[in-house]
């Protein structure tokens, strides 16, 4: 497919906001693509070169694109900047300045050039990137130039995600979402949507089930816990259960093979660099390869117990990681396994997966396979809960004995039971909310530049408001929050936000910061677009290990609303 033809589809996509229309256009695009290019088309449509865990990013700043446009069209950078201020879009600037009537470049040509740009590092790389983009733009027709200028600086923003791509792949085959669940199931096992699209194109939806198995170094979407208020209800829903400790740590999915070790967060980011001690994994493992689910917890050696989440997360500082790995020893509490010795274990029941964990490691201090208790007695769950709280842990996880490893928060297979924020919150659990914007501070808070911040929950592709928070926050938290929000501040409201006109903040931010919120209760709200509001919300902590894909959904908020009635 020529890139110029691909650009026509992109133009159609940016002209519509209806989810079903976007799905239909994408399905047409995918149908027109070949097996060898559909993966690249999917990635470029999403404004990326690869999933986030592959760490292949453009690193093209707007200033560099301005220089490239100036070079490509033989005008001064000052003239480009002037046009940019007028139009507010470098893509529109490129569209206006391009004089080519046609372009012979294919989608794969452009994709390969973009990948080459992304991998170009070191001395002189900035100049080489400007030269390469300039050369590419010179070969583009106006419409192709528009999107070539937008994609590398992260400005494509067509308003859809992997979920819509899954629906479009189903629509490509059936003219409906009939096969979306089957495609999504495959995506949960191998979280690379371009790879999944290639498989669907080649084998059809019915053929991918036989082709899908976990792939070392490609994350499996994690299994998540439901919320149930009482141990009695847990036993009623799940019958015989296993009770495990719940740690206040960093969810870490570890992939081990002869090629090395990779670690992924629950939102699929590669954080392998945080754990240099994993270089010793081969010495401890009795398997040739594996994928395990763990909670990485810092160890407080003075008190001989687990450190809190914020202490563990100081390891996210890339500089001096060797120093932090020494001062904050880590332990991986292993609670599940999805793959071992070349074989998927995801369809095995919980107890069989636990058997596979028994002899996975030689005795060591880095990996600890969690102890669990099997019971049908709600009182045993409560005793375990109180014991774990007494040990400084968050509570317990309760798991159905015959449950497979199924990604997402589906059915009552795993549930969590933990103490509220010092029992102040009456909800069954805290909420992981997306920060959407903030208001300027008044009085003392004028010095922070921040008074309140608006948060929401995820509803499909949209993010809907549920509360504003401005109380119960320390001065240090205000300062930290302002620094974080300034880095992601944008001029216009992101397209996925649904906000009542009376609740609009002074400043908008990209949906990149997740905060854990406690509240006394959930009430119905005519003003908040979620239809529900949090009463007396309080900031617990920043969830740097999560993104909007793993934030609380509107469906989950409704479940919490129902739980508080019991």
Q: Show which residues are catalytic.
A: 246
What are the backbone angles phi and psi of residue 227, rounded to the nearest 5°?
-115, 125
CA angle 80, 82, 87 (to 5 degrees): 90
Element (DSSP H or E) covering residue 458: strand 453-459
DSSP assignment of 347-383 equals TS-HHHHHHHHHTSB-S-SSEEEPP-EEES-HHHHHH
Cβ atoms 253, 295 nearer than 8 A: no
The alpha carbon dihedral of 167, 343, 348, 207 has a sign of positive
Q: At what angle do helices 142-150 and 3-14 cross, to 10 degrees?
A: 70
Determine how β-strand 395-400 pairs with β-strand 414-418.
Answer: antiparallel
Per-residue exposure over 96-110, b if at least 16 CB sit within 10 Å of its own CB, e if not: ebbeeeebebbbbbb
- Three-state SS for 130? helix
What are the backbone angles phi and psi of residue 556, rounded to the nearest 5°?
-65, -35
Beta strands in 301-364 (DSSP E): 305-306, 330-340, 343-344
Between CA 530 and CA 459 the distance in angstroms is 8
The alpha carbon dihedral of 485, 455, 502, 555 has a sign of positive
């Amino acid at each position: 497919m020529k890139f110029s033809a691909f650009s026509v589809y992109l133009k159609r996509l940016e002209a519509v906001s209806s989810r079903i229309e976007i799905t239909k256009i994408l399905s047409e695009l995918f149908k027109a693509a070949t097996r060898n290019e559909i993966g690249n088309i999917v990635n470029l449509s999403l404004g990326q070169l690869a999933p986030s865990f592959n760490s292949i990013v453009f690193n093209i700043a707007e200033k560099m694109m301005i220089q490239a446009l100036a070079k490509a069209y033989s005008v001064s950078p000052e003239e480009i900047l002037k046009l940019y201020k007028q139009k507010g879009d470098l893509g529109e600037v490129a569209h206006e300045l391009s004089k080519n009537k046609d372009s012979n470049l294919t989608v794969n040509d452009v994709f390969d050039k973009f990948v080459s740009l992304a991998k170009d590092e070191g001395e002189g790389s900035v100049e080489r990137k400007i030269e390469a983009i300039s050369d590419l733009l010179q070969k583009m027709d106006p419409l192709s130039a528009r999107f070539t200028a937008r994609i590398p600086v992260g400005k494509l923003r067509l308003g859809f995600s992997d979920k819509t791509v899954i629906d479009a792949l189903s629509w490509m085959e059936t003219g409906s979402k009939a096969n979306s669940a089957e495609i999504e199931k495959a995506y949960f096992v191998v979280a690379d949507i371009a790879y999944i699209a290639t498989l669907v194109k080649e084998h059809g939806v019915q053929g991918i089930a036989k082709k899908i198995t976990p792939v070392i170094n490609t994350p499996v979407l994690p299994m998540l816990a439901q919320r149930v208020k009482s141990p009695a209800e847990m036993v009623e829903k799940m019958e015989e259960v296993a009770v495990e400790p719940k740690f206040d740590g960093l969810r870490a999915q570890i992939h081990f093979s002869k090629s090395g070790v990779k670690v992924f967060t629950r939102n699929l980011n590669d954080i392998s660099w945080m754990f240099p001690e994993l270089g010793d994994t081969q010495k401890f493992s009795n398997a040739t390869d594996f994928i395990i689910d763990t909670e990485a917890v810092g160890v407080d050696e003075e008190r001989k117990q687990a450190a809190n989440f914020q202490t563990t997360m100081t390891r996210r500082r890339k500089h001096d990681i060797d120093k932090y790995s020494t001062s904050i020893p880590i332990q991986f509490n292993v609670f599940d396994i999805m793959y071992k010795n070349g074989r998927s274990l995801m369809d095995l029941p919980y107890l069989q997966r636990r058997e596979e964990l028994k002899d996975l490691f030689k005795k060591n201090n880095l990996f600890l396979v969690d102890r669990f208790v099997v019971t049908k007695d709600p009182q045993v769950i409560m005793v375990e809960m109180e014991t774990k709280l007494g040990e400084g842990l968050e509570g317990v996880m309760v798991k159905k004995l015959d449950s497979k490893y199924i990604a997402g928060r589906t059915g009552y297979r795993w549930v969590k039971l933990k103490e509220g924020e010092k029992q102040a919150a009456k909800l069954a659990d805290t909420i992981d909310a997306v920060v959407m914007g903030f208001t300027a501070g008044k009085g003392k808070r004028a010095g922070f530049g921040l008074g309140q911040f608006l948060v929401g929950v995820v509803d499909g592709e949209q993010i809907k408001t549920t509360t504003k928070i401005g109380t119960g926050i320390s001065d240090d938290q205000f300062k930290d929050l302002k620094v974080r929000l300034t880095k992601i501040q944008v001029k216009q409201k992101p397209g996925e936000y649904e906000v009542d006109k009376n609740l609009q903040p002074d400043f908008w931010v990209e949906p990149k910061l997740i905060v854990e919120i406690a509240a006394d209760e959930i009430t119905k709200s005519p003003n908040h677009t979620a239809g529900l509001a949090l009463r007396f919300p309080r900031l617990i902590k920043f969830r740097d290990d999560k993104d909007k894909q793993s934030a609380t959904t509107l469906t989950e908020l409704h479940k919490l609303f129902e739980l508080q009635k019991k």
